[in-house]
């Protein structure tokens, strides 16, 4: 442990910076959290290691240490960690820097392994923005790597460690021959030619982005020499090979940053940032959501794992099998057996009723006409009369005595007996026919022949004394049951969250428009045209998340919660805790959707949405009296846009802010424009040459036309009216001198003429 690493907590450096605790220790310095007691703010202090400060290369390391302070201090950008102060403590140089709440990108890469295109390009954009500010002032970082890219607690990028930075015109890797920087991210020209360029920073950030998307760096080796050899002699592999499904424009942009030849890369970070903005403007939504799986090399963006489809059902037989009464239990004997007439009718008639009273009997007329006549099935006329007492069925007598008596009877008596017998038989037959017809009429119009009974499905159990609905019965099986029972039906389909696809939701009568569900055992009238409608489940209703819901220019993006509801989703959760401010997306536009857009799922599945809160509110800083650079930096830090104009001012020194369109403390938002007026100093005018020797009136007119106030000092009454001297503020004015037109109070400057 070095001396720098043993600085005790509570120690106050330079009577100002109180050490709180150690944050981290690197190869060159130890970083502490401290409190600036003068300004009452938390800062980070980097203190050089003792062995470096006292070693043979002290001057080089001290120079690098101080260069970091100068380089970072020269850059005004919210994505650069600011350096506030520098000094020496017990012979050790130290830097006082902005304290960043958060982690470095390496920590996030170790945690997440891979990033989405959206997150990668966001971090890349903010890093390029910071580097562009450095490149504009001629500073090359030379050590861009994940460890030097900090992510604050708002997820924003801040670049640190400008210890290797140098002016681009002087930049070489090291005057001592040491190879500084991290080998995995070094540009080929930095290794081969010992030259650091803005394009070298782009190469390093390109390798970082390559690693964020792929999960590993493009060149890997345990030997640093082998690693740098690969950078010099091999092209960076195409990112598409390691990230199948990555949008080709993204891979092409990374390839442009990591081109082996310096001239094949963008000129600097500003050019790269412009190229990135053009890319993001045309990138489709699906490309933004790409993320390489951490379980393999397959992309996970816009993929929904679907279970394998079940095998197709076997084809139905060409003809329906005939079900018999014994094949299944029956709810009512009337539907399975033949109704029988009363015992009295059976005595009177020998004909049987037809099994189905509704079936007509077709009978040809006597003339043999092709027309048929439909009549109800009724008992046929008996073919045999019941014999009278003493008369055998074949017409013979039962004993000889009777036969003799009959033989002795005259013909008239025999005729009367015959007529009486026929009449009695006819009456009996008529009575039996009437009884049979009544029994049939009861069975057909009032009895079991007048209705169907709702049968019980084979896969439903019923409890006696309770209603037994047919919900959840398999429709394919129950349809066969209805056909065997002869019950007319129609089908309807509907979605159901509780009934499986292909099962019955309910059945109801359709003749009277009733929606009351039918239960097992309910009666259905045969005579009024009644039929049942069976509603079959189509399963849970599906809905699809709109593909363009993350496109801020689409109608669905304007109100994503309504768009999801209109798409059919009933369980949409707005994750308000994760809503974020955005300087690019208006309030209410979706930031993230889970699952991804384009996914089809159950309508009641949870869909989680986070929304943009729009540009964040910020308080206008007090920039009056600040220099132009200070004002622009203060506004840029709050993501405000400065519109600077210049005016002459008699009271405000040149280069300082005269006024701003927003008062100090006024609430603005990211992206708002603030008009800033900067002083050009007092307005001046050149006093013309050759005024001495001219007449007072001519000189006075010339000076007053320029805006000066003229006072005259006449010698001997100014008899000749000739100007002998021209003075300002007690001093003679040389020919062509610039003189301010007004004093600090705005009064015209007084020019004094001496006239003789």
Q: Which residues are designated catalytic?
A: 143
Q: What is the DSSP letter of 470?
A: -
Token output for 18: 């109180």
Q: List the structure tokens of 252.
A: 């092409």
SS3 at position 674: strand
437 phi, psi to nearest 5 deg: -65, -40
- Give the whole-angstrom CA distance, residue 264 versus residue 300: 32
CB atoms within 10 A of CB 219: 19
Distances (CA, A) of 543 to 380, 501, 605: 65, 16, 9
Closest to 109 in 3D by CA, of 8, 222, 208? 208
In 506-536, which positions are buried (b, 16+ CB within 10 angstroms) versus exposed (e)?
bbbbbeeeeeebbbbebebebeeebebbbbb
d(CA 240, CA 583) in angstroms, rounded, equals 31
Neighbours of 681 (CB within 10 A): 16
- Expressed in percent and rounded to 5, the helix, strand and coil fractions of the chain are 30, 25, 45
H or E segment to which residue 696 belongs: helix 696-706
Closest CA to 730 of 752, 704, 755: 752
Return the CA Rg of the chain: 52
d(CA 532, CA 490): 6
Distances (CA, A) of 556 to 302, 544, 550, 610, 631: 18, 13, 8, 14, 40
Q: Do 46 and 94 touch, CB atoms closer than 8 A?
A: yes
């Amino acid at each position: 442990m070095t001396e720098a690493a043993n600085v005790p907590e509570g120690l106050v450096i330079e009577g100002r910076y109180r050490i709180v605790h150690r944050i981290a220790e690197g190869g060159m310095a130890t970083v502490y959290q401290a409190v600036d007691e003068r300004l009452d703010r938390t800062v980070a202090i980097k203190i050089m290691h003792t062995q470096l400060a006292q070693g043979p290369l002290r001057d080089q390391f001290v120079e690098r240490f101080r260069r970091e302070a100068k380089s970072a201090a020269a850059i005004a950008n919210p994505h650069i960690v600011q350096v506030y102060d520098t000094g020496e403590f017990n012979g050790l140089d130290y830097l006082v820097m902005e304290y960043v709440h958060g982690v470095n990108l390496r920590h996030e890469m170790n945690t997440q392994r891979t990033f989405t295109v959206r997150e990668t390009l966001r971090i890349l954009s903010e890093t390029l923005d910071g580097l562009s500010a450095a490149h504009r002032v001629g500073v090359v970082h030379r050590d861009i790597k994940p460890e030097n890219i900090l992510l604050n607690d708002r997820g924003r990028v801040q670049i640190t460690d400008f210890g290797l930075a140098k002016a681009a015109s002087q930049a070489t890797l090291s005057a001592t021959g040491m190879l500084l920087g991290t080998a995995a991210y070094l540009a080929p020209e930095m290794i081969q030619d010992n030259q650091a360029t803005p394009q070298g920073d782009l190469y390093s950030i390109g390798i970082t982005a390559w690693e964020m998307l792929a999960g590993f760096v493009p060149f890997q080796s345990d030997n640093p020499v082998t690693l740098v050899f690969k950078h010099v002699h091999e092209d960076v592999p195409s990112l598409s090979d390691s990230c199948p499904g990555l949008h080709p424009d993204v891979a092409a942009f990374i390839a442009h940053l990591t081109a082996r030849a310096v001239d094949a890369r963008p000129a600097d970070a500003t050019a790269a940032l412009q190229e990135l903005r053009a890319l993001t403007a045309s990138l489709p939504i699906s490309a933004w959501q790409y993320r390489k799986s951490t379980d393999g090399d397959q992309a996970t963006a816009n993929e929904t794992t679907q279970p394998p489809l079940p095998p197709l059902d076997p084809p139905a037989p060409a003809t329906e099998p005939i079900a018999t009464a014994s094949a299944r239990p029956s709810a009512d004997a009337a539907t399975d057996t033949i109704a029988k007439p009363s015992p009295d009718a059976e005595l009177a008639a020998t004909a049987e009723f037809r099994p189905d009273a509704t079936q007509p009997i077709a009978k040809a007329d006597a003339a043999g006409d092709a027309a048929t006549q439909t009549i109800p099935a009724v008992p046929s006329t008996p073919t045999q009369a019941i014999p009278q007492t003493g008369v055998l069925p074949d017409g013979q007598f039962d004993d000889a005595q009777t036969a003799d008596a009959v033989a002795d009877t005259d013909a008239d008596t025999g005729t009367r007996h015959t007529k009486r017998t026929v009449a009695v038989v006819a009456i009996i037959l008529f009575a039996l026919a009437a009884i049979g017809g009544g029994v049939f009429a009861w069975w057909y119009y009032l009895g079991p022949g007048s209705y169907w009974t709702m049968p019980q499905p084979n896969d439903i159990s019923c409890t006696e004394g309770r209603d037994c609905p047919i919900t959840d019965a398999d429709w394919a099986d129950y349809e066969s049951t209805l056909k065997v029972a002869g019950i007319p039906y129609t089908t309807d389909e509907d979605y159901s969250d509780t009934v499986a696809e292909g099962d019955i939701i309910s059945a109801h009568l359709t003749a009277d428009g009733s929606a009351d569900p039918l239960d097992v055992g309910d009666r259905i009238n045969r005579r009024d045209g009644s039929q049942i409608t069976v509603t079959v489940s189509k399963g849970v209703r599906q809905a699809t998340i709109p593909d363009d819901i993350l496109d801020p220019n689409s109608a669905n993006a304007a109100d994503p919660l309504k768009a999801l509801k209109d798409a059919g989703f009933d369980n949409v959760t707005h994750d308000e805790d994760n809503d974020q401010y955005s300087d690019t997306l208006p309030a209410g536009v979706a930031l993230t959707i889970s699952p991804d857009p384009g996914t089809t799922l159950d309508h009641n599945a949870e869909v989680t949405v986070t929304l943009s809160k729009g540009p964040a509110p910020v308080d206008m800083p007090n920039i009056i009296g600040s220099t132009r650079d200070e004002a622009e930096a203060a506004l840029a830090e709050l993501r405000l846009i400065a519109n600077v104009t210049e005016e002459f001012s008699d009271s405000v020194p040149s280069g300082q802010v005269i006024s701003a369109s927003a008062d100090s403390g006024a609430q603005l938002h990211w992206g708002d424009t603030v008009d800033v007026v900067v002083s050009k100093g007092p307005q001046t005018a050149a006093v013309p040459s050759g005024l001495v020797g001219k007449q007072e009136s001519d000189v006075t007119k010339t000076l007053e036309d320029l805006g000066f106030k003229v006072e005259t000092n006449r010698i001997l009454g100014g008899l000749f009216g000739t100007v002998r001297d021209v003075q300002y503020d007690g001093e003679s004015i040389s020919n062509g001198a610039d003189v301010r037109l007004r004093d600090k109070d705005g009064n015209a400057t007084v020019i004094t003429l001496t006239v003789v």
